[in-house]
């Protein structure tokens, strides 16, 4: 398999979703928010080289889990343009009807 290098582009809502999770975890335990942020950032960074490793889940959208946290990063890959478009960072414990990304 050829190695790709993708530019990772985040939709506007993604930063807000990450911040919301950081705030939630900060309330639970002071250092937990920072740990979530680092884990999410590391997962997003990994998509630069590993985006194709994760299987398509729905409508050409792939998902990757944020390590040690119940969050999935939803994204699409455009191999022609070498772009990974991140659509959402969603908690897997929330109501599935609210989690739908269309």
Reported as half-sphere exposure (CB side, CA atoms, 13 A), residue 61 has a value of 14
Domain boundaries, the chain: 7-95
Q: What is the CATH number of domain 7-95?
A: 3.30.2310.20
pLDDT, position 96: 52
SS3 80: coil
SS3 18: helix
Q: Quote the CA–CA distance of 15 and 21 in Å, as a whole number.
A: 10
pLDDT, position 67: 94
Regions in the chain scoring below 70 on pLDDT = 1-3, 94-102
Contacts (Cβ under 8 Å, ≥6 apart) of 1: 52
pLDDT, position 92: 87
């Amino acid at each position: 398999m050829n190695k790709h290098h993708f530019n990772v582009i985040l939709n506007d809502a993604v930063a807000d979703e990450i911040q919301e999770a950081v705030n939630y975890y900060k309330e639970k335990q002071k250092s937990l928010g920072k740990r979530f942020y680092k884990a999410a950032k590391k997962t997003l960074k990994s998509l630069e080289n590993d985006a194709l490793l994760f299987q398509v889940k729905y409508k050409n959208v792939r998902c990757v889990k944020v390590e040690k946290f119940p969050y999935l990063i939803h994204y699409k890959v455009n191999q022609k343009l070498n772009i990974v478009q991140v659509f959402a960072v969603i908690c897997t414990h929330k109501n599935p009807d609210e989690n739908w990304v269309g």
